[in-house]
Structure 1
Amino acid sequence: MKELCVIGSLNMDLVTTVGDFPKPGETIFGDSFKTFPGGKGANQAVALGKLGADVLMVGKVGDDIYGAKYLEVLKNNNVRQDGVDIEKEISSGVAIIKVNNKGENNIVVVSGANGKVDVNYIESKWDVIVKADIFLFQLEIPMETVVYTMKKLKDLGKIIILDPAPASKLPDDIFKYIDFITPNETELETLAEKKIDNEDDLREAANILFDKGVKVIISKQGRRGAAIIKRNEYAHVSGFKVNAVDTTAAGDSFNAGFAFALAQGKILEECVKFANAVGGISTTALGAQEAMPSYEVVRKFMDEKK
């Protein structure tokens, strides 16, 4: 199995459950409050660790109780943490999350130490980074760092997966470094600057990214599953029916499942099917990382759903 490396954010998630989201200016009472380790980068790393992958996390935490706790979390979930340093005199990243009674969420992120994952830091960790084969990126560390690191890795022939979240417009030169990009519909609309109302729109948006250099698009479609889109190919892979409680880390879990199967040498359709299962299971309990499944749980789930 190929080695994996996640380069990205580590946040502590502060989660409140509510009946309905408050309107602007409205004060409501929440139902509960809990603290969970999160951040898109660390979510993907922990999901991989739980699946049994050999995975390295690269990022930063702050000099606070959340940072110390996070190093413990990585260790307990089989994630190598020699790529993670504590940044002095700054907080760890935090995400303030509200989850309503439909399992929907909205999130406010404060970057903290994640904003200090700069090019110099990547250089300081390069010897350990370059040992991996497959790399997962997101957009919660500085864009300059993401582009620089992708280019340097691509020059070495490494495999690069980008989860383009949170949704934002990307510099055109980044696309040629990406082997697999995994947007949901909102993120794809942002990247292509095109409204998507049907499958034809989806294909047109995909072609815009192909023209910029993207090789393969894995379009996440929630409970419907995902689509594998290449320049002249389109295949839909159905999702799995689950009772969703919290969708907070579904996309991160999907990416981890996809990368895990890819590292095993599975064909694309099998990778996406496995990713759909991991993502689906992750929505069945509250919290980002707590609901992420082991490999055995995923295999049992997929066998039962056949």
Structure 2
Amino acid sequence: MFSKERHREILVYLNKHERVTVNQLAILFYVSKETIRNDLNILAKQGFVQRCHGGAIILRRVFHTQLVNDFGTSIVKVLNQVNMQRKITRKRKIKIMKNKVCILGSFNVDIIAKVDRFPKSGESILASNTIIGPGGKGANQAMAASKCQVQVHFVGKVGKDHFSQMARDHLSSSDISSFTLYQDEEYKTGSAIIYVSQPAGENMIAIHSGANQHITESEVSSIASEMADAKIFLTQLENNFEATHKALMMASQLGAKTILNPAPYSARTIECLPWVDYLTPNETEASMMSGIEVNDIDSAKKAAQAIRAIGAKDIIITMGSQGALIYEGSKFTHIPALKALSVDTTGAGDAFNGAFAAAIAQEQSLISAAKFASAFASLAVEREGASSMPEYQNVLSRLAQYERK
């Protein structure tokens, strides 16, 4: 395709969608991101679009008055050309397009303090190091899924502060295929204060949700097309409950399989269960949800049965060093944990959920998906930072350990 033809089709796409990312256009036209950036810069100089970080926004008045005159082609004809190109692109990318995962979730700025031990009440201790970086359950899970050979669309909300740029830079430079990042006029970007105890890699976290708690129902409705294209929809509870509940309901009605990671736990989780195909609590969340203290496999089985009784379908309880317990139908399966040299367990649950979503999107069985996710998480805890995820080939190598058990 000649550059002038591609410019025309970019404008037609923008006329329909108003905004677009470099990643989306690179996939649509099967060219490099650098080529798309150059295309958008040319269109911006011509007055057709306004460049924004990671993409562009249409200047509607210019588009409507000048597009046909400048390019001499009817909108209908151009749309047909775009659709033809999409069909070609889908054939080339059919495996990835088929396995799309849509994730609604939080973006936080993580402020991490490395300590020798957790402080006691009223005690001040010295940290050996501090790190500021991207985090949030939603963004972390999207990062994990993006490492697993599936297409990922992430949806989140940040404030209009300097941390919002960190979010855009982080998502744009990642393997995440595309993202929708809303901005709140009033509330700040979410943040998390994290203590990591170095001897065991264990953590304590305090979260300020900020803009994450203010996604609107209309913003959720606006991502319906992304849900409709997805095989799997994954979410957590770091966004406001109303938006999360509506998103699960929409995704289920649009035909996607849904996964809810009920963290941080809310008593209202039960309201979501009719729309959830896979529920993934950890020991603490399973205990709170069932009223049964989970400390071993037997107590986890009792908790899973209690959770099923209140409306859950398939349940996967993650139990750290004790592995994961699956309750599928009437059958229990215990997935043992793989040995790992823990450096930072902060993102272990996020690593598991993102990888699990990707494996289910690839049509793996529930047990195979849980094994893959466990192997993925075992490598993630060996890395520093909640958003630092392992590479796919390394996970396959670690996964082979299950075959040797």
TM-score category of the 2 structures, normalised to the smaller one? over 0.9
Counterpart residue number, 1:301: 398
How far does residue 211 in structure 1 lie from its aligned partner after superposition? 2.0
The one-letter amino acid paired with 1:208 is: A
How far does residue 157 in structure 1 lie from its aligned partner after superposition? 2.8
Cα contact 2:287–2:294 (8 A) shared by 1? yes
Between structure 1 and structure 2, the one with the greater Rg is: 2
1:54 aligned to 2:143?
no
Taking the TM superposition and a 5 Å limit, the aligned residue runs for 1:18-29 are: 18-29=115-126
SS in 2 for 1:34: strand
The one-letter amino acid paired with 2:253 is: D
* Residues in 1 aligned to 2:382 and 2:270: alpha-carbon distance in whole angstroms: 37
- Of 40-49 and 165-174, more deviation after overlay is shown by 165-174
How far does residue 80 in structure 1 lie from its aligned partner after superposition? 3.7
SS in 2 for 1:136: strand
* Residues in 2 aligned to 1:169 and 1:118: alpha-carbon distance in whole angstroms: 21
Q: Provide the alpha-carbon RMSD of the alignment.
A: 1.6
* Residues in 1 aligned to 2:363 and 2:369: alpha-carbon distance in whole angstroms: 9
Cα contact 2:171–2:179 (8 A) shared by 1? no
Cα contact 1:52–1:294 (8 A) shared by 2? no
Q: Deviations over 1:244-294 (max 9, x none)?
A: 01100000000111111111111121111100011110000210112x112
Taking the TM superposition and a 5 Å limit, the aligned residue runs for 1:10-49 are: 10-49=107-146
Counterpart residue number, 2:94: none
- Of 191-200 and 260-269, more deviation after overlay is shown by 191-200
Q: Deviations over 1:63-117 (max 9, x none)?
A: 1222111111112112244421222343211111000122110001111110111
How far does residue 304 in structure 1 lie from its aligned partner after superposition? 6.0
* Residues in 2 aligned to 1:236 and 1:185: alpha-carbon distance in whole angstroms: 14
Answer 1 or 2: higher relative contact order, Cα 8 Å, separation at least 6: 1
Counterpart residue number, 1:251: 349
Cα contact 1:250–1:283 (8 A) shared by 2? yes
* Residues in 1 aligned to 2:170 and 2:141: alpha-carbon distance in whole angstroms: 13
Structure 1 gap ranges (5+): none
Cα contact 1:177–1:214 (8 A) shared by 2? no
How far does residue 171 in structure 1 lie from its aligned partner after superposition? 4.4
* Residues in 2 aligned to 1:198 and 1:246: alpha-carbon distance in whole angstroms: 23
Q: CA separation of 1:198/1:125 partners in 2, compared to 1, >3 Å: closer, same or farther?
A: closer
Counterpart residue number, 1:124: 222
Counterpart residue number, 1:114: 212
The one-letter amino acid paired with 2:246 is: Y
* Residues in 1 aligned to 2:334 and 2:113: alpha-carbon distance in whole angstroms: 35
Counterpart residue number, 1:66: 163
* Residues in 2 aligned to 1:235 and 1:98: alpha-carbon distance in whole angstroms: 33
SS in 2 for 1:12: strand
* Residues in 2 aligned to 1:303 and 1:211: alpha-carbon distance in whole angstroms: 35
The one-letter amino acid paired with 2:202 is: E
SS in 1 for 2:332: strand
How far does residue 178 in structure 1 lie from its aligned partner after superposition? 0.9
SS in 2 for 1:90: coil
How far does residue 207 in structure 1 lie from its aligned partner after superposition? 1.9
Cα contact 1:8–1:137 (8 A) shared by 2? yes
SS in 1 for 2:268: coil
Q: CA separation of 1:148/1:165 partners in 2, compared to 1, >3 Å: closer, same or farther?
A: same
How far does residue 198 in structure 1 lie from its aligned partner after superposition? 4.3
The one-letter amino acid paired with 1:209 is: I
Q: CA separation of 1:195/1:151 partners in 2, compared to 1, >3 Å: closer, same or farther?
A: same
Counterpart residue number, 2:258: 160
Cα contact 1:92–1:112 (8 A) shared by 2? yes
1:223 aligned to 2:315?
no
SS in 2 for 1:272: helix
The one-letter amino acid paired with 1:69 is: M
Count of equivalent residues = 305
How far does residue 50 in structure 1 lie from its aligned partner after superposition? 2.3
The one-letter amino acid paired with 2:326 is: I
Cα contact 1:223–1:280 (8 A) shared by 2? no
How far does residue 22 in structure 1 lie from its aligned partner after superposition? 1.1
TM-score, normalised to structure 1, is 0.94
How far does residue 129 in structure 1 lie from its aligned partner after superposition? 3.3
Q: CA separation of 1:225/1:199 partners in 2, compared to 1, >3 Å: closer, same or farther?
A: closer
The one-letter amino acid paired with 2:240 is: P
Taking the TM superposition and a 5 Å limit, the aligned residue runs for 1:169-184 are: 169-184=267-282
- Of 45-54 and 182-191, more deviation after overlay is shown by 45-54
Counterpart residue number, 1:97: 194
* Residues in 2 aligned to 1:45 and 1:32: alpha-carbon distance in whole angstroms: 27
Taking the TM superposition and a 5 Å limit, the aligned residue runs for 1:131-150 are: 131-150=229-248
The one-letter amino acid paired with 1:253 is: A
SS in 2 for 1:130: helix
1:76 aligned to 2:167?
no
Cα contact 2:102–2:227 (8 A) shared by 1? yes
* Residues in 2 aligned to 1:304 and 1:213: alpha-carbon distance in whole angstroms: 35
Cα contact 1:114–1:140 (8 A) shared by 2? yes
